[in-house]
Chain A
């Protein structure tokens, strides 16, 4: 087949979701954000909710998420996305509202907002990307950084005495009466992507049927921050992140 034949519609084997625009992404090669963005776009599209969806972007690597998905977006201050989402959903109960947050945003500076939105059972989806590091600010320690893992602000490795323990915030959120779904997923293999999408859809459906708060954690890589190749990153994630943050449903009611 020549190029012209390849791009014929009948030969299409893979297309990006309509909601994803052509803006070049600023994410590093190998980053998990792109795949997660795509899954969200697919789910919104498949649910036919693109006219009713409002996304809340975080501060962190995904700060520009609003440049890539053609829906209405609000950009929150660092950690405050669940507060914005609370108001958006309460003022517009028929809209589909989600936050997209990293580990620093959700589990450090925004811990209060996260816990209380979940505890009130806000009918929102929280997409939580956990790559155990602050990407955007240049690879500093996150609340989820593993013990011994070195970052710009724990260059000799995370140390319990100095930095405390990695925070398993999803486990904590699963304890709250307001959450209906807390699941931990990854997007490092095709099978994982498929599974993650299924749970993401469930989360969005929960929010529309007002079942409570749904949290979809994505254990992710940060090739740049971890100073590894994308391939090494995936391996490192499986070997080191998964034992601490095992994949699966923590709560699904």
Chain B
């Protein structure tokens, strides 16, 4: 038991889970509050065991482009950063979406705008699910709420990325990255062999063998008619993801008259709020989107027929709340409570806000 259950930070869990997933490479640049990801990888020296490459790049821009290069070879590659660094990575993310490359990107969010603060925040929700980089694209977005989910979402993120040939992001924040909890790490999987990659990712640029045509990974297409077709194909893929890959969690929602909608660390905080409120006889449930894109809009719409009102809680000035309002089509009141700039609310604070909705 002792060997299976470990105690570690969310950031450390990401690193260990990546090695165990059989990831081929990590390329990063230090930034608080996620530096433990690369530190743990460097300490573990996976290049001596699984053969995973770990490299500290000269910048976030370079790191994401290394990910592009690795992904274009069909390799399981990833990077991680925090908000200001993720802004720098938007170039590469857009290019990967355009070239239809799978990769995993981790954002352990901190407060902005600008250099902002190093304290926890969820203010990159818009950047992540509404675009971030240029062009019409979508980023598969997972929002872990525990150290266990930090570990689990590595495999989930890679699997979804490779299923759809699209980058995926783990959108965590300083609370989830820095806290230590119990975690059970996945079993060690072997890295894919070159033959396996050639078979499963026939588009990979690994050298033009067996008389096949050259593989070219590019997002460039100067003919607008062809580029429109490319975009239509992307949108069809995004529709498919929205249809098939929505994940959420419901806590005490069955008999709920009110819902708190929150993701990541604020969902954890709101979980205690729900417990406190239930003790006072308030029938409230917690609805936690785990995929922020695709957003669980159908499920929320269904709740708009059942509950009297929703409180959305975020570490920002009100971002996901827009998607909640769109989902319930303004049929019921949707209130918002957020703290800004790195301040994290306590469950009591959220309870006070909940009571305003009653």
C-beta contact mask, A45-87 vs B, less than 8 Å → 1, else 0?
A: 0000011111011000001001001111111110010011111
Number of B positions contacting A (CB below 8 A): 39
A71 CA to B213 CA in the complex, in Å?
Answer: 8
Tell me, rounded to whole Å, the shortest Cβ–Cβ distance linking A112 to chain B: 6
For the complex, is A205 an interface residue (Cβ under 8 Å from B)? no
On chain B, the residues within 8 Å of A63 by CB distance are 220
**Given A72-B215, A74-B72; A87-B66 close (CB under 8 Å):** yes
Q: Is A72 touching B214 in the complex (CB atoms < 8 A)?
A: yes
On chain B, the residues within 8 Å of A53 by CB distance are 207-208
Q: Is B73 touching A116 in the complex (CB atoms < 8 A)?
A: no
Q: Considering only CB atoms, which chain B residue lies closest to A54 in the complex?
A: B205
**Residue in contact with A66 in the complex, picked from B58, B92, B95, B216, CB distance below 8 Å:** B216
**Given A72-B208, A83-B57; A88-B72 close (CB under 8 Å):** yes
A99 CA to B85 CA in the complex, in Å?
Answer: 25
**Residue in contact with A92 in the complex, picked from B73, B214, B216, CB distance below 8 Å:** B73
C-beta contact mask, B22-63 vs A, less than 8 Å → 1, else 0?
A: 001101000000000000000000000000010101110111
For the complex, is B68 an interface residue (Cβ under 8 Å from A)? yes
For the complex, is A113 an interface residue (Cβ under 8 Å from B)? yes
Q: Is B72 touching A91 in the complex (CB atoms < 8 A)?
A: no
Tell me, rounded to whole Å, the shortest Cβ–Cβ distance linking B240 to chain A: 26
Q: Considering only CB atoms, which chain A residue lies closest to B210 in the complex?
A: A51
Q: Which of A146-172 contact B (CB under 8 A)?
A: none
Q: Is B24 touching A91 in the complex (CB atoms < 8 A)?
A: yes
A154 CA to B95 CA in the complex, in Å?
Answer: 31
Q: Is A87 touching B77 in the complex (CB atoms < 8 A)?
A: yes
Q: Is A91 touching B62 in the complex (CB atoms < 8 A)?
A: no
For the complex, is B347 an interface residue (Cβ under 8 Å from A)? no
Q: Is B208 touching A84 in the complex (CB atoms < 8 A)?
A: no
For the complex, is A188 an interface residue (Cβ under 8 Å from B)? no
Tell me, rounded to whole Å, the shortest Cβ–Cβ distance linking A108 to chain B: 14
Q: Is A95 touching B58 in the complex (CB atoms < 8 A)?
A: no
Q: Is B219 touching A75 in the complex (CB atoms < 8 A)?
A: yes
27 A-B pairs whose Cβ atoms sit less than 8 Å apart in the complex: A54-B73, A66-B216, A70-B214, A73-B218, A74-B216, A74-B218, A76-B69, A77-B91, A77-B92, A83-B57, A83-B63, A83-B68, A86-B55, A87-B69, A87-B73, A90-B55, A91-B70, A91-B77, A95-B206, A95-B207, A112-B58, A112-B59, A112-B62, A113-B58, A113-B61, A115-B58, A116-B62
The interface of chain B, by Cβ under 8 A from chain A, is 24-25, 27, 53, 55, 57-59, 61-63, 65-70, 72-73, 75, 77, 91-92, 95, 99, 194, 205-209, 213-220
The interface of chain A, by Cβ under 8 A from chain B, is 50-54, 56-57, 63, 66, 69-77, 80, 83-88, 90-92, 95, 112-113, 115-116
